[in-house]
Structure 1
Amino acid sequence: MRIAVAGATGRLGRHVVDVLTERSHQVVPMSRATGVDVITGDGLAEALTGADIIIDVASWHASEQEAATEFFRTSGRNLQEAGRQAGVSQIAVASIIGVDKATTGFLAAKKLHEEFLWSGPLAVRILRAAQFHEFVGQLLDWQEGEVAYVPALPTQLVACRTVAEELVDHALGEPSRGTPIPEIAGPRRETLAEAATLLGARRGVKVVAVDGAGMPDAELAADGAFLPSPHAKLAGPTFEEWLATQP
């Protein structure tokens, strides 16, 4: 099967490409690095020629809601239209657990991303994932110095590789009608600060847990709004197990 991957060189996209390649699918990696731009449309029609399915893991690089919303609006419209013209059967997209409850910030933009895709002509299959293990490193990277302040908000972190495997299964599997949007999360519930403390110890950074005030929808997050629902699949290594495998 010929599968086009939008965002193929990103954090999740690299794993999606690896999984598809290991399973002997013909992969068309789409990113600006490969000459395909989902925003301007450059190279998109050519990349989608002969494609059966699009897997959309392209994402905006910052948390500002308005810019992220515009990115997802444009990319969603372009993928739907170019996919229709190329005869693609469907789009599978990675989203985030709890976006249906979000009111502001990146998650609210991601909620609109789902809606933009649903409004197009192609069938859409969504997988909502918990925050990635890799996100913890970002939290520390954003704060330079020997001390990092990380919110003690509950999460159920999941490995990117685990999400990629589940997304490919979802994209290629039989549709399940009348069921909730599937979710994938890691096996252990913890706080972001707890996970960051493990990584901080490796990096020589002291992590101080804070209440998350000022973060988008912090009160919702504290109440567990972005934790996996009872129907979620729990899979992959814990953050501690994953960290032990990292160089």
Structure 2
Amino acid sequence: MRIAVAGATGTAGAAVVAQARERGHQVVELTRAAGVDLVSGAGLDALLPGADAVVDLANTTTTSAAKSHAFFTAVTTGLLAAEARHGVGHHVALSIVGIDEVAAGYYAGKHAQESAIASGPVPWSLLRATQFHEFAEQSLGFAKAGRVSMVPFGHLQPVAVSEVATALVDLVEAGPSGRVQDLRGPRRELLVEMAKKVAARRGTGQRVIGVPMPGGYGHAMRSGVLCGNNKARTGTITFEEWLG
């Protein structure tokens, strides 16, 4: 199959590209280096002809609901319109477990993305997954003062990117499936403890302090809704295995 990947250089995108190629698929990376601007849609018409599916892993780093909504709406609608023009028969996207409980901030954009996909012109598949193991390392940079990192209190059930990539490539091969079973990691973890383990592994002397995060996202983390429920499919790679 010919698979186009948006966000091909990101954490999940790189894993999907690698796995798709290992399975013998032809991969087209929709990146700036390839002349693509996902927000404006520039360059898509040159690369999508002949594609069987698009895997949308485009992402933005923002806590602003307005910016997140604008980004995901522009990227998703632009991709879907280009796919429809060129007869691409399958749009595959990755979203986040628990966002129904959080309508603010970054998650507002993910809600908009899911809505655009479900009402769009292209048959689709949507996988929601919990946070990646890599989120623990990212959290060390959220709020820093010298060698002190302030990390939000909260519960996660992190999953390995490799397992998410496997699920996404499986979906491409299976064809349009709608919203499929959520995917979460094998164990519930405390983000602060995860961050401490990453800092210790780095050996840089970074001190991690847990802090309460305000707002809807902070409440969701503390309540455990971002961990998923027993209806979710459970991965096998633990945080400790990933860290090792």
Shorter-chain TM-score: what band? over 0.9
AA in 2 matched with 1:97: V
The equivalent of 1:193 in structure 2 is 192
Return the alpha-carbon distance in structure 1 between the equivalents of residues 91 and 229 of structure 2: 24
| Counterpart check, 1:208 vs 2:209 | yes
AA in 1 matched with 2:78: N
Stretches of structure 2 lacking an aligned partner (at least 5 in a row): none
| Aligned-pair CA distance for 1:108 | 2.1
Are the equivalent residues in 1 in contact too, given 2:141–2:149 (CA < 8 A)?
no
| Counterpart check, 1:162 vs 2:191 | no
Cα RMSD between the aligned structures?
1.6
Stretches of structure 1 lacking an aligned partner (at least 5 in a row): none
Return the alpha-carbon distance in structure 2 between the equivalents of residues 243 and 206 of structure 1: 18
Secondary structure (helix, strand or coil) at the match of 1:83 reads helix
Secondary structure (helix, strand or coil) at the match of 1:188 reads coil
Per-residue displacement from partner, 1:8-31 (whole Å, max 9, x unpaired)?
111211111001000000100111
| Aligned-pair CA distance for 1:46 | 1.2
Secondary structure (helix, strand or coil) at the match of 1:182 reads coil
The equivalent of 2:243 in structure 1 is 243
Aligned length: 241
For residues 37-56 of structure 1, the aligned pairs below 5 Å read 37-56=37-56
Per-residue displacement from partner, 1:149-205 (whole Å, max 9, x unpaired)?
21220101112222111111122225557xx64211111101111111101112321
| Aligned-pair CA distance for 1:98 | 0.9
Secondary structure (helix, strand or coil) at the match of 2:226 reads coil
Identity %: 40
| 1:8–1:176 Cα change, 3 Å | closer
For residues 70-219 of structure 1, the aligned pairs below 5 Å read 70-142=70-142, 143-173=144-174, 181-203=180-202, 204-212=205-213, 214-219=214-219
TM-score by length of 1: 0.92
Return the alpha-carbon distance in structure 2 between the equivalents of residues 238 and 215 of structure 1: 29
The equivalent of 1:11 in structure 2 is 11
TM-score by length of 2: 0.93
Return the alpha-carbon distance in structure 2 between the equivalents of residues 61 and 139 of structure 1: 13
Are the equivalent residues in 2 in contact too, given 1:38–1:79 (CA < 8 A)?
yes
AA in 2 matched with 1:147: V
Are the equivalent residues in 1 in contact too, given 2:125–2:177 (CA < 8 A)?
no
AA in 2 matched with 1:77: T
| Aligned-pair CA distance for 1:63 | 2.3
